[in-house]
Amino acid sequence: MAFWADLWHDFCTFVDAMGFVPTEPGRVNVLASEANWAWPRALQDIFRPRGVNLLMARDADEFVNIIGHERIYATIIDVERPGGLVTVKIIRISFPLMPCILLARAAGETLLDEALSLDVFSVIDKPVDMDVLRQQLNRLFVKKYNSDIFNR
């Protein structure tokens, strides 16, 4: 089983290096912090028209487990959820190139310095302006995958 997991990881690394994002609906997965409020529905409003799948994770272990078993193109992590910033650190151990966007209510200098040191793509203030999130996802996908899937 480990052989296939390693082979899959190597293939995904190759695909990342080629900057390829599948164009078929339902093939692009984004993993986000789980929430008990309107957050998942708001994300679905951005993702569904583009054929992007939203997966949710409760904690760092679940993030790593999902990333290890599914092809994830980006993560969106709420630093105020349990283990917030630690989740990024743990993801970086096994998946150092995984693009991460952070959400934070008060993104002070300390958090921004730490996000920079962890190579976080972007930090977005809460409450989240969904248009700002869509713009950041567009920047991320254009830069990393040469895809404008999140363009208007």
- What are the pLDDT digits (tens) for 5-19? 454 555 555 454 445
pLDDT of residue 107: 81
Burial of 138 (0-12, 13-18, 19+ CB in 10 A): middle
Ordered by where they begin, the domains of the chain are 2-22+37-145 (3.40.50.2300)
Q: How high does pLDDT run on average in the chain?
A: 85
Measured CA distances, 50 to 87, 124, 138 (Å) = 27, 21, 12
Tally of residues, the chain: 152
- The encoded tokens of residue 145 equal 């995958």
- What are the pLDDT digits (tens) for 48-91? 999 999 999 999 999 999 999 999 999 999 998 877 889 999 99
CA–CA separation, 118 and 138 (whole Å)? 21
Angle between helices 84-94 and 109-117 (to 10 degrees): 10
- What are the pLDDT digits (tens) for 87-107? 999 999 999 999 999 999 988
Per the CB < 8 A criterion, the answer to whether 67 and 95 are in contact is yes
Q: Is the peptide bond before 127 cis (omega within 30 degrees of 0)?
A: yes
At residue 138, does pLDDT exceed 70? yes
